[in-house]
Structure 1
Amino acid sequence: MSNGRPVNLSRRALLGAGAAMAAGLAAPAVLAQTQNTVEMEQELSSNIRRNMSSFRSLQWQPYFSDTRNGAILVDTTSRALHFWSEDQSIYKLYPTSVPLTEDLTRRGRTQIVKKVIGPDWRPTPAMKERNPEWPDYVPPGPDNPLGTHALYLSWQFYRIHGTHDTRKIGRRSSNGCVGLYNEHVAELFELTKVGTQVLLI
């Protein structure tokens, strides 16, 4: 035990320390190395626990009065999307990308108004103003920033969509939309319908 918590020594560290002592070698140096290994493993474990604590399952009741047509909660702080089916038999939790800055972030209630497989993309006027070098139109395909599927929201220009650039997930990387891995948005696409409730917090 260390600080009241169990210590998991790696098999390699234990065997190394035992062999050194059996051979009469400099055991203190090997034990110091073993202690360093233990401390590194504890620190890594602590970091993993902290990351997982912000990405946890939630109940729908604090956010919705019901789950009619299904319900989606997007938490821009934990960068996670939660989905509950209408009958509450299905719950999904996905990592997301979120807007780059606070002024690009919109919060509140909306709903899915259109679903598209293989969406095309046009930058908004604000995007073109910020990035005049961007193309006016990108057809469906591997270069499309909306990925393989898009769920259009009642707010103009806002979507929940896939991305071919997987480095964006889990980061502040979008111009306002919510991005998911393509395989996740494909699954969400099948679970949702036009009229599914959406809340961004």
Structure 2
Amino acid sequence: MMRPDRFALVVLLSALFAGPANAALEGADDRPEASVSIEGEPGTIVIKTSERKLYLVTAPGRAMIYDIAVGKPSEQWFGKSWVSKKRRAPTWVPTPSMREKNPSLPQSIGPGPKNPLGERAINLGWGAYRIHGTNAPRSIGSAASAGCFRMRNADVKDLFERVHVGAEVRVLR
């Protein structure tokens, strides 16, 4: 639970920066909020792999809901992490384990339609896991990745503008 003095500071800063924050969201999908039975401070990301859904908590009992693709059953992970970095037009670099499984992978793929990370990447913790866009939108709703969470490019761009570095991320079954 947030301390009252910290809450007051957050409210004050939100009011001061409402103009720029709203300007950043112009053009973002007009995504409705839904009632949910998920706990967390506003800004917390909760991923339910069994549902193939990502929830961005907006208020107690309220969240924005996004469809996602999750890791293949052998690649899934569960627990807590945090948003450690946000990248526009990211470059994809295969991990050593990906390269071991498929040595013919390119060294990297820069921004563009062939990039597996799509148009935005939100890095989690210290590892190689991310929430990112995709060049394979038909994979959304499936268990298809190497442990990352894929979103449609329009959805990840919307989430990218709403989530902050340092936000808590919880991955549940």
Instruction: Give the structure-2-normalised TM-score.
Output: 0.75
One-letter amino acid of the counterpart of residue 37, structure 2: Q
Residues 142 and 164 in structure 1, CA contact (< 8 A), matched pair in contact too: yes
Across the aligned residues of Structure 1 and Structure 2, the Cα RMSD in angstroms comes to 1.8
* 1:90–1:58 Cα change, 3 Å: closer
Deviation of 1:133 after TM superposition, in Å, equals 1.2
Question: Counterparts of 1:1-201 in structure 2 under 5 Å?
Answer: 58-61=36-39, 64=40, 67=41, 70-85=43-58, 91-102=63-74, 104-201=75-172
Q: Percent identity?
A: 37
Rounded Cα–Cα distance in structure 1 between residues aligned with 2:107 and 2:35: 39
Question: How big is each residue's C-alpha offset from its partner over 1:92-143, in whole Å with a ceiling of 9 and x where there is no partner?
Answer: 10111011123x1111000001001100010000000111111111111111
Computing the radius of gyration over CA atoms, which structure comes out larger, 1 or 2? Answer: 1
Count matched residues. Answer: 139
Greater relative contact order, per chain length (Cα 8 Å cut-off, separation 6+) = 2
Is there any run of 5+ residues in structure 1 with no aligned partner, and where? Answer: 1-55
Question: How big is each residue's C-alpha offset from its partner over 1:70-106, in whole Å with a ceiling of 9 and x where there is no partner?
Answer: 1111111111101013x5597210111011123x111
Rounded Cα–Cα distance in structure 1 between residues aligned with 2:152 and 2:76: 20
Deviation of 1:58 after TM superposition, in Å, equals 2.4
Rounded Cα–Cα distance in structure 2 between residues aligned with 1:59 and 1:83: 12
Rounded Cα–Cα distance in structure 2 between residues aligned with 1:164 and 1:143: 6
Is there any run of 5+ residues in structure 2 with no aligned partner, and where? Answer: 1-33
Rounded Cα–Cα distance in structure 1 between residues aligned with 2:61 and 2:114: 36
Rounded Cα–Cα distance in structure 2 between residues aligned with 1:78 and 1:133: 33
Rounded Cα–Cα distance in structure 1 between residues aligned with 2:137 and 2:117: 12
Residues 38 and 61 in structure 2, CA contact (< 8 A), matched pair in contact too: no
Task: Indicate the structure with greater strand content.
Answer: 2
* 1:192–1:79 Cα change, 3 Å: same
